[in-house]
């Protein structure tokens, strides 16, 4: 197949064209149509394809093979036959969006060269944002801001963007930002008095059409810096999103939009110190509760047996309480906490005693229809038979006395 002449090469604003079908066939990507010329951009150079219509059929994908033949993947291809003349219409919104992002990339790439000599190594035009990978080891906010300022100044000046179709010799005389990947005839995109780049993509006619160029974020990527950016309509959509988020956060504080970072930081700090204070108070409360429980418990020889069933208390808290009890004086703590679904048991003993809590707890858990175990001095478990938990604790207390 021959290379397909690309109408967008001369004029990216051409959105409607006439062409003759020279081939129509099925492929693994779907029904494909080849035309004698096309204004549809095929995926390549970091830029996704155009979509649109060919006669009655929808163009859902466009790709180019190594020979330069462009294939239009269409739905409803039954209406297209070889030899037929068709009208192609490019989806305007998607084309404009891609033109804004791609043209913005040329300008941002040159802006980074001017701000810090950082060359662009790759470009990706994504569905929501785009990225360039630039030769920059240590990015700073000031540097990124400087490049962004240079780029937007070029937009605000509404400079012409021109297409030059030149041969290699002519190209060699132009101040190209990067070497051409193609031989022979080379297409060069000029941003007046700013940037010259060999490129096959679709571009704006003037920089004003690109709209705002905004850097969203940056990250290190393979010894380079990956810069995420949005242009034009995407920059407006992203600003709205960011503004809505900031306003929503500010409303929670009944504050001005831009004062929230300090307010949020203060809240986080306060929550941290409150958490520590709660931990300290809980510790004090546990010590007091342990003393009180020990005071009200029966002696069995030279140790005390403390038992209790709590409602809906966190098992972690019950475990701390058990530890406090057995640390204070020679004792065995047989504690449980229950809710509608399950009962949890924590058995503990002082280190001076010899009873096996693991064994005792395993037997109690059996009554609850569950399982559990642990070490001789501390064991934990539970089961679903909530109604038997008091009985299980009483039983364990009896066994302890007998031992
Ligand atoms: Zn380009």
Whichever domain contains 43, its CATH number is 2.40.30.130
In a domain, 270, yes or no: no
Specify the pLDDT at position 403: 66
Cα distances (Å, whole numbers) of residue 187 to 35, 47, 108, 241: 22, 16, 20, 37
Name the β-bridge partners of 163: 189
101 and 234 together in one domain: yes
Round to whole Å and give the CA distance between 127 and 115: 28
The rounded Å distance from CA 120 to ligand 1 centre is 13
What's the CA-to-centroid distance between 63 and ligand 1, angstroms? 17
Are 37 and 71 in a shared domain?
yes
Domain boundary among 90, 113, 142: 90
What CATH number did the domain enclosing 391 receive?
A: 3.10.310.40
What is the domain count for the chain?
3
Do 103 and 245 share a domain, yes or no? Answer: yes
Measure the N-to-C terminal CA separation of the chain; round to a whole number of Å: 95
Query: Does any domain span residue 214?
Result: yes
User: Does residue 328 form part of some domain?
Assistant: yes
- Across-strand partners of 382? 344, 371
CA of 203 to the centre of ligand 1 (A): 6
Q: Report the separation in Å between the CA atom of 219 and the middle of ligand 1, taken as the mean of its atom positions.
A: 23
The residue among 250, 275, 309 that closes a domain is 250
Query: Dihedral (C-alpha) 253, 256, 261, 266: value to the nearest 10 degrees?
Result: -40
Distance 67 CA to ligand 1 centre (A): 21
Helix-then-strand count for the chain, H and E: 8, 19
How far apart, in whole angstroms, are the C-alpha atoms of residue 136 and residue 342?
Answer: 59
Q: Name the burial class of residue 146, with classes exposed (0-12), middle (13-18) and buried (19+) by CB atoms within 10 angstroms of its CB.
A: middle
* Final residue belonging to a domain, choices 73, 90, 107: 90
Helices 141-156, 92-116: inter-axial angle, 10-degree rounding: 120
Structure tokens at 51: 């979509």
Give 201-236 pLDDT, tens digit per residue: 999 999 999 999 999 999 998 889 999 999 999 999
Q: Is residue 255 part of a domain?
A: no
Do 130 and 47 belong together in one domain? no
What is d(CA 354, CA 376) in angstroms, rounded to the nearest whole number? 8
Closest to 55 in 3D by CA, of 85, 83, 24: 85
- Enumerate residues with CB within 5 Å of ligand 1 (an ion): 102, 199, 201
| Rounded distance between C-alpha atoms, residue 333 and residue 158, angstroms | 81
Distance 144 CA to ligand 1 centre (A): 21
Tokens linked to 306: 């403390």
CA-to-CA distance for 37 and 17, rounded, in angstroms? 9
CA-wise closest residue to 12 among 207, 210, 202, 208: 202
Instruction: Please report, rounded to a whole number, the percentage of residues in the chain having pLDDT higher than 90.
Output: 86
86 and 100, same structural domain?
no
pLDDT of 363 reads: 93
Ligand 1 mean position, distance from CA 61 (Å): 20
Kindly give the distance from the C-alpha atom of residue 60 to the centroid of ligand 1, in angstroms, as a whole number. Answer: 22
* Residue 160 DSSP code: B
State the pLDDT confidence band at 26, using cuts at 50, 70 and 90.
confident
Q: Is the pLDDT of residue 15 over 80?
A: yes
Gyration radius (Cα) of the chain, Å:
37
pLDDT tens profile 75-101: 986 778 899 999 999 999 999 999 999
What would the pLDDT profile of 259-294 be if each residue is shown by its tens digit? 999 999 999 999 999 999 999 999 899 999 999 999
What tokens appear for 16 in the block? 């409607």
Q: What is the dihedral of CA 192, 198, 203, 209, to 10 degrees?
A: -30
Q: Identify whether 256 is part of a domain.
A: no
CA 161 to ligand 1 centroid distance, Å: 11
Same domain, 121 and 245: yes
Two tokens at 314? Answer: 């966190």
- The CB density around residue 141, as the number of other CB atoms within 10 Å, is 9
Q: How far is the CA of 103 from the centre of ligand 1 (A)?
A: 6
Give the SS3 label for residue 181. coil
Residues 209 and 169 in one domain: yes
Q: In this model, does residue 316 exceed pLDDT 90?
A: yes
Are both 64 and 107 inside the same structural domain? no
- Region of 254 (left: φ > 0; alpha: ψ -120 to 50; beta: rest) is left
- Angle, CA 124 vertex, CA 192 and CA 187 arms, to 5°: 40
Phi first, then psi, for residue 297 (nearest 5°) are -105, 155
For residue 140, the CA-to-ligand 1 centroid distance in Å is 27
Domain of 133? Answer: 96-250
Burial class of residue 106 (count of CB atoms within 10 Å of its CB; 0-12, 13-18, 19+): buried
Q: How far is the CA of 48 from the centre of ligand 1 (A)?
A: 12
Beta-ladder partners of 383: 343
* Interval between CA 88 and ligand 1 midpoint (Å): 23
Rounded CA-CA distance 273/269 in Å is: 6
pLDDT in tens, 158-205: 999 999 999 989 988 999 998 888 788 899 999 999 999 999 999 999
In 157-259, alpha helices (H): 168-172, 233-252
Residue 94's pLDDT is what?
97
Other CB atoms within 10 A of residue 53 CB = 17
């Amino acid at each position: 197949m021959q290379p397909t002449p690309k109408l967008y090469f001369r004029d990216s604003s051409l959105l409607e064209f006439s062409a003759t079908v020279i081939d129509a066939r099925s492929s693994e990507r779907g029904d494909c149509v080849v035309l004698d010329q096309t204004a549809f951009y095929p995926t390549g150079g970091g830029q996704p394809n155009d979509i649109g219509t060919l006669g009655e059929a929808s163009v859902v994908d466009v790709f180019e093979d190594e020979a330069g033949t462009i294939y239009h993947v269409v739905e409803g291809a039954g209406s297209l036959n070889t030899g037929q003349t068709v009208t192609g219409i490019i989806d305007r919104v998607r084309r404009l969006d891609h033109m804004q992002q791609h043209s913005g990339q040329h300008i941002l790439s040159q802006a980074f060269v001017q701000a810090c000599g950082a060359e662009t190594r790759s470009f990706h035009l994504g569905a929501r944002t785009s990225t360039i990978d630039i030769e920059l080891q240590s990015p700073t906010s000031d540097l990124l801001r400087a490049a962004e300022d240079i780029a937007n100044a070029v937009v605000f000046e509404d400079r012409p963007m021109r297409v030059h179709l030149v041969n290699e010799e002519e190209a060699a005389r132009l101040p190209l930002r990067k070497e051409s990947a193609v031989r022979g005839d080379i297409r060069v995109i000029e941003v007046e008095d700013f940037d010259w780049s060999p490129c096959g993509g679709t571009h704006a006619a003037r920089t004003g059409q690109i709209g705002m160029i905004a850097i969203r974020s940056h990250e290190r990527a393979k010894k380079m810096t990956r810069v995420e950016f949005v242009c034009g309509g995407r920059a407006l959509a992203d600003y709205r999103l960011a503004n809505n988020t900031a306003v929503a956060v500010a409303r929670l504080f009944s504050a001005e939009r831009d004062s929230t970072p300090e307010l949020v930081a203060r809240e986080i700090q306060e929550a941290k110190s409150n958490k520590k204070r709660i931990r300290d108070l809980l510790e004090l409360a546990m010590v007091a509760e342990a003393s009180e429980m020990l005071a009200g418990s029966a002696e069995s020889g030279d140790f005390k047996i403390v038992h209790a069933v709590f409602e809906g208390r966190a098992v972690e808290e019950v475990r701390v309480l058990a530890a406090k009890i057995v640390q204070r004086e020679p004792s065995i703590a047989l504690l449980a906490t229950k809710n509608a679904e399950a009962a949890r048991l924590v058995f503990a003993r002082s280190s001076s005693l010899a009873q096996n809590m693991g064994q005792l707890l395993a037997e109690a858990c059996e009554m609850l229809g569950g399982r559990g175990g642990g070490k001789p001095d501390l064991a934990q478990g539970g089961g679903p038979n909530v109604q038997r938990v008091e009985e299980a604790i009483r039983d364990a207390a009896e066994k302890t006395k007998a031992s």
